[in-house]
Structures are given as C-alpha cells and as structure tokens.
Amino acid sequence: MALITKKRTRKTIRDKAKIHDQVDATFFSFLDMAGNRYLQIDTYGREERVIPNKISQSFQIDREAALFLIELLQREFQE
C-alpha cells in the first residue's frame, strides 16, 4: 500500500507506454484520528491469479493530493 501526496509527486518522461489490462477496483474514504479524510483505491488483478479476488495493489490520497489530481486530470484531458 502507498500514500500518494502532492509533495512527493512529480512529472516524468517515458519513451514508451502501454495500455495495461483492465482489472476490477474498489474505493472507499475514511477519516484518521485527527479527522483528515483519505481516499483508498484497491485493485484486484487478473481473474486467472493464483488467489482470485485478492487485493493486488492499493493506494491512498489525502485531500491535498486529491485537489492536485483533479487539477492534473482537467489539464491532461482537456480537449
């Protein structure tokens, strides 16, 4: 599991990129003891995995990263 924050997120350049396989995902939000909200997204990998329905990867974002992500998505997907 990983917590993604705005402070530690930066743009990179890649020579190649490929489209990954589609997988199932779930999400939920929660509050920590201080009342800060987080969003967690879990992915489950391919159906042919050794242990089906097992979480493959998880990441969390805090409020600051969420606002940054909204801005980034709007900028990158603008028509």
Give pLDDT, residue 46. Answer: 79
> Would you say residue 50 has pLDDT above 80?
no
Q: Band of the pLDDT at 36, cuts 50, 70, 90? A: very high
| Kind plus residue range of the DSSP H or E element containing 61 | strand 57-62
Summarize the chain as % helix, strand, coil (round to 5): 20, 30, 50
Give dist(CA 12, CA 67) in Å, integer: 20
- The SS3 of residue 30 is strand
Give dist(CA 39, CA 65) in Å, integer: 10
Give pLDDT, residue 63. Answer: 97
Least confident of 20-24, 28-32, 71-75: 20-24
Listed in sequence order, the residues at least 6 apart from 53 whose beta carbon sits closer than 8 Å to its beta carbon are 44
